[in-house]
Amino acid sequence: MIAFLPELYSDELVYSWLSRYYVKSGCLSFAYVVEDLYVHQYTRPDTEFLNEMKPDVMEMIDRYCNIEQIVREHTMFSSYGRFLPLERKQEAYEALLRMHGNFNNLLSIPKNQRGTGRFLRYCPICAREDREQHGETYWHRIHQIEGIQICRRHGCYLCESTVSMDRQKKAGFWDAETLIPQSETIQICRDRRKIAFTEYISQVFEAAMDFQGKISVADFLKLRLERYARTDSGASLSLDNLYMDYQDFFGEDACMTKGQMQKILLGVRYHFSDICKLAMFAGISVEELTAIPDTVKDSLRKPVYQQVAEELQVDYDLVCKIGEAVLKRYERKERVVQRRKRTFAWEKMDAEMLPSVRKTVERLYQTGEERPRRITVFLVQKEMGLPDKRFDKLPKCKAEILKYQETQKEYWAREAVWAYRKLMREGQPVNWTKIRRLTNMRNVDFQGCRAFLDNYGTSEEVKHLQGLI
């Protein structure tokens, strides 16, 4: 059990915070501090995120900063998760809050490849200022954004430390104060474009995360790049012309390939730095990129109207008027359309897959020996190996999944009842410590779920659970 934690500094990586604790704690070895901090003794500290901590450590952390602030302000979630589809972003955020290892897959980070060839970086001027203000320096989040080379505040090039971000390298807690030299040659950047981009991407990184907007960044980028629309089809872009202008705009810093650009515009690639470069090139403000306005929905219809007008050789304004009238009519009444063969194919697949979906959901939801999981469309889709958004075309299957939808507090209540029953089956003493170890639930989590215990347990089980703390 740990007795203290040092002060948590602004924009400090949680890895840096724990590294400073290691130095100040007097632990004789790395193995001892891992045993003190983490649920699993084989844990390799993650330089960018938070590993699964012991409940008593989380209670200590809560005194300084709640878990939501830790994830949003002291990990790299803002870069890896910002441009994900809404549901996937929410899934990843919840996984990080629960410190589950599957966040790597949810954030679309290649397994065992994140950080390969990268090292923790620092600004020598920031390090000097940290020492003057705090008496020590630390690892800043903003210096670790993949794709930037200079410090936003001081305009000097960042320096690489010897701390590898590759998770396959030797594990350890390496604090910045020990590794960053007291003095170092400072090289100022004179490239205005590089400076402007660093400011732009830093503002995007620091902006509040949007968990409401449903418009994808791919659709928004295509809308703002409509000047590159092909003359033969207003609904598609001339990728060749766009890519050439992008290369001219960024020069030697245009690292994105044409194929990567195409994947971003198709909505299947979410690389933070590349999307920021494309958005800056398109003239999109930071405010628009970080909170895409709902008014964009109307604008997204225009390329379709343009394509219809060109193919039918009809006046564009007339197509718009007819299109708007038809859409309004469809919004008022349920559409009656002639069913085509493709529609029947989807309906057939929906009916055929329903038993498999039901079986998968029940297996994931089960409360036997294995720890229960929170059911979401994305989880079932991933478990069954289906493509993204497949369930959008399978309404019966999706409805079956949504039957099991629950809030975070409801899930905690179900998890608490599962832990209670598991301990009873195994003949173990039922107390708060054992419940906490099985669920990794904090005191504040348990208090929040007490109102939902009746939904999952018997009156006797609920009474016993509520009396634990």
**Does residue 439 or residue 74 have the better pLDDT?**
74
Q: Which amino acid is at 163?
A: V
Angstrom distance (rounded) from CA 74 to CA 72: 6
Confidence at 450, pLDDT banded by 50, 70, 90: confident
Please tell me the predicted confidence (pLDDT) of residue 378: 83
| Token pair for 129 | 């200022």
The whole-number pLDDT of residue 334 equals 46
Position 316 scores a pLDDT of 65
CA distance 204 to 452: 38
pLDDT for 337 = 47
Report helix, strand or coil for 240. Answer: helix
pLDDT at position 264 is 94
Region of poorest pLDDT, from 88-102, 138-152, 187-201, 304-318: 304-318
**pLDDT score of 119 more than 70:** yes
Instruction: Work out the mean pLDDT of the chain and round it to a whole number.
Output: 87
Residue 455 tokens, joined: 């939904």
Q: Look at residue 381 and tell me whether its pLDDT is greater than 70.
A: yes
| Strand boundaries in 205-280, DSSP class E | 229-230, 233-237
The residues near 435 (Cβ < 8 Å, ≥ 6 apart) are 416, 419, 420, 423, 441, 446, 465, 468
Q: What is the mean pLDDT of residues 27-33?
A: 88
Confidence check: pLDDT of 276 > 90: yes
| Maximum separation of any 2 CA atoms in the chain, in Å | 79
Chain segment 401-417, per-residue pLDDT in tens: 999 888 888 888 988 99
* pLDDT the model gives residue 339: 46
Question: Mean pLDDT: which of 53-67, 124-138, 202-216, 342-356 is highest?
Answer: 124-138
Give the pLDDT confidence of 230-253 residue by residue, as tens digits: 654 444 688 999 999 999 999 989
Residue 333 has pLDDT above 60, yes or no: no
| pLDDT bracket for residue 286 (50, 70, 90) | very high
Q: Give CA–CA dist 259/243, Å, rounded.
A: 10
Does 341 have pLDDT greater than 70?
A: no
**pLDDT reported for residue 342:** 54
Residues 92 and 109: their CA atoms lie apart, in Å, by 11
Contact 211, 86 (CB under 8 A): yes
How many angstroms separate the CA atoms of 389 and 372, rounded? 24
| pLDDT one-digit tens code per residue, 31-63 | 999 999 999 888 999 999 999 999 999 999 998
Lowest mean pLDDT segment, chosen from 89-103, 194-208, 225-239: 225-239
Compute the distance between CA of residue 406 and CA of residue 270 in angstroms, rounded to an integer.
28
Check residue 306 and give its pLDDT. 74
Cα–Cα distance list, 231 to 96, 152, 219, 311, 447 (Å):
45, 40, 19, 11, 61
The torsion angles phi and psi of 76, rounded to 5 degrees, stand at: -95, 20
pLDDT tier, 295 (very low <50, low <70, confident <90, very high otherwise):
confident
As a whole number of angstroms, the distance between CA 203 and CA 178 comes to: 30
Distance CA 338, CA 409 (A): 44
* Residue 287 pLDDT exceeds 90: yes
Q: Give the containing element (helix H, strand E) for 97.
A: helix 86-97
**What's the pLDDT at 24?**
92
pLDDT > 90? residue 187: yes
Q: At what angle do helices 459-466 and 408-425 cross, to 10 degrees?
A: 100
Of 12 and 334, the structure prediction assigns the larger pLDDT to: 12
What pLDDT was estimated at residue 171?
84
Write out pLDDT tens, residues 309-319.
Answer: 778 888 766 77
Query: Is residue 437's pLDDT more than 90?
Result: no
* pLDDT, greater one: 140 or 335: 140
- Range from 115-129, 311-325, 373-387 that averages highest in pLDDT: 115-129
Of the candidate ranges 143-157, 373-387, 420-434, the one whose mean pLDDT is the lowest: 373-387
User: Shortest CA distance to 80 belongs to which of 50, 53, 56, 114?
Assistant: 114
